[in-house]
Chain A
Amino acid sequence: MYSYIVRRLVFGGLTVLGVSIVVFAVLRVLPGDPLVAIFGPEGFTKLSDAERARYMAELGLSDPLIVQYFHWLGDIARGNFGRSFFRAESVADMLSRRGPLTAEIALIAVVLSWIVGIPVAIISALKPNSLGDNVSRFFSILFLAIPGFWFGMLIVLACLFWFGYRAPMAGASLFADPWTNLQIVIGPAVVLGLGQAAYIARMGRSSLLEVVREDYVRTARAKGLPARLVISLHALPNALLPVITLSGILMGFVLAGSIPVERAFAVPGLGFAMYIAVYERDVFVMQNLVFLYSIVFVMLNILIDVVIAWLDPRIRYR
């Protein structure tokens, strides 16, 4: 087990390295001149040569690309995530101030997706092609097709329209002001959670349907166990394994999905910071945030792999 974990971690490290190359290639090499990306083509032509040289030197852009790449990696390794080109806020500040909100949203969304998705999956798998099954399948397909940010906008509008309610704008930490904090995070969490619940319900349904056909489930039924116990004690634990894997993958997509959703709700989280960085063409913030998001994503998947290996003795730690 330990060697499996170590192997996964080493492999994860390699993946992170590859990811860093992709991020660097996309955000530093592709745009050609980063100053064009920052100032836009028009603003760039207005800069004098001296200004250009000064900015380039200031940003460490006059070094060869490979040197820049290693500088960047070194900075990250030392915990120096750089700062915005347009604002005083450093990326580290952003992380500590905005990060918790997004993390809360992601966690609540995952919990919610399980609370909603698993019962729906059980209901549809117990009686396939019944009315309940068809209704829940229709809703899961519908929620896969609804863009989360639009759903969020509708919720904001509906709350205003019918209740005259608007969630507080300013960020509040969970410990200082739990009530305000909850009002801020609950909207995006519900939207992202329901979106994920649709996947979980679909996956859970097909996985339960497969498990229910297995011999040991039939044996449990044959010995006279009530259906409730057969499902909850015998079938469900095995059926949930693929759902856990899926949930890990979805977690990363919640992080991504929270970018437009946080914008729709105007939640001052990390996703909103990413939106601003994109909007302002802030290459450096974007580069670091994208890299950090992918690290979190890779780590989550390693964590899920290890959890699955621990839960499922059939997986040999090769």
Chain B
Amino acid sequence: MTAADPDTTLPLDPAVAATRGIEPPRWRRLGRALRSFVRRSPLSAFWGCIAAAIVFVAVAAPVLAPYDPLKSDFRNMTKPPAEKHVFGTDQIGRDTLSRVIYGSRASLTVAIGAVLFGTTLGALWGLASGYFGGRFDLVSQRIIEFLQSFPDLILAMAIAMALGAGFGTVIVAIAITRIPFGGRVIRAVVLSLKEMSYVEAARGLGASHLRMMLRHILPQCVAPYLILATTHLGVAIIIEASLGFLGVGIPPPTPTWGNMLADSLNAGLVPPWWLVLFPGCAITVTVLSFSLLGDGIRDVIDPRLRGAVSVRGGKSAAI
């Protein structure tokens, strides 16, 4: 189930194949890959653009937000959407649009941080455990199984609660729940790669373990890792929002989508609709764009991974 066997990998662009000897510059290869991605799945490319736009909004938040997300305005409390405040204001007069815009920062930072730490750590662990096998593999598999015996929101809640509220702890809490998925998927890939003849040839030439892993096996794991990581970004965003909603996320003054939803419940007996609608839409659109982008990457890079990653990566999103 890997991108390994040479004759079934992504068919080489004839133009690239012709110039095999003289590799085109890196940026041109990247451009070509992007173009072929857009051609093959325009819909995912569209969602990829939306994902990029969300990242842009997060980066440019101070420029884009019309108001200071923390500044309260006691003359405009709990006002419905109007010309001045397009998304309305919350119970202490903070502008909802600005808070939604700033909320993307928290969500994306946490999601990217958690995936970078968690999925990557899991992937490296899976690489080592698949490569070395034996007792190390056995113990690693058991530990991963223990971690997977928790529904991941519960594990994240427990860790976030134990470590105390904060940006870093939320990242760590979500990252730990991502480890088993990275570990499992990459280990399976490595197990089949290990048997390939080119790996054996490298071993025959006397390559060291480290060189074998990094130089010969790791590059083949990049595709499944990318697919996994994009899918997990969406999952991580939902977990982050749930943690915020449950009061163990990033502590309150910081605007996050989960915090905003939790706040709306305190805005009176009946939460005003604009305080509920907009943050949730932001979560949904962000998660949707990342997961569709992930699906697209998977279909283009390796159609045979269809199902293999999405089911494992996806089952955790049942929140």
Contact = CB atoms under 8 A, between A and B. Distances in A.
Interface of A: 15-16, 18-19, 21-23, 26-27, 30-31, 37, 41, 141-142, 144-151, 153-154, 157, 160-161, 195-196, 199, 202-203, 206, 246, 249-250, 252-257, 259-260, 263-264, 274-275, 278-279, 281, 283, 286, 290, 293-294, 297-298
B201 interface: no
A278 B311 contact: no
Contacts of B311: 203, 246
Nearest to A20: B146
Contacts of A37: 161-162, 164
B151 A253 contact: yes
A203 B315 CA distance: 10
A150 B283 contact: yes
A37 B163 CA distance: 9
Interface stretch (B109-117, B220-228, B287-295): B287-295
Given A30-B159, A31-B164, 4 more contacts: A141-B295, A147-B242, A154-B280, A257-B319
A31 B164 CA distance: 8
Contact of A154 (B147, B242, B276): B276
5 contacts: A18-B149, A23-B158, A30-B159, A31-B162, A256-B151
Tell me the dominant secondary structure on chain A's binding face.
Answer: helix
B146 A18 contact: yes
Nearest to B173: A26
Interface string B273-289: 10011011001110110
B252 interface: no
Contact of B145 (A18, A199, A274): A18
Interface stretch (B3-11, B79-87, B243-251): B243-251
B160 to A, nearest CB: 8
Nearest to A144: B317
Contacts of B273: 157, 161
Given A153-B271, A246-B315, A297 B246 contact: no
B280 A294 contact: no
Nearest to A153: B276
B261 A153 contact: yes
B90 interface: no
B153 A257 contact: yes
Given A18-B146, A260-B245, A278-B246, A294 B276 contact: no
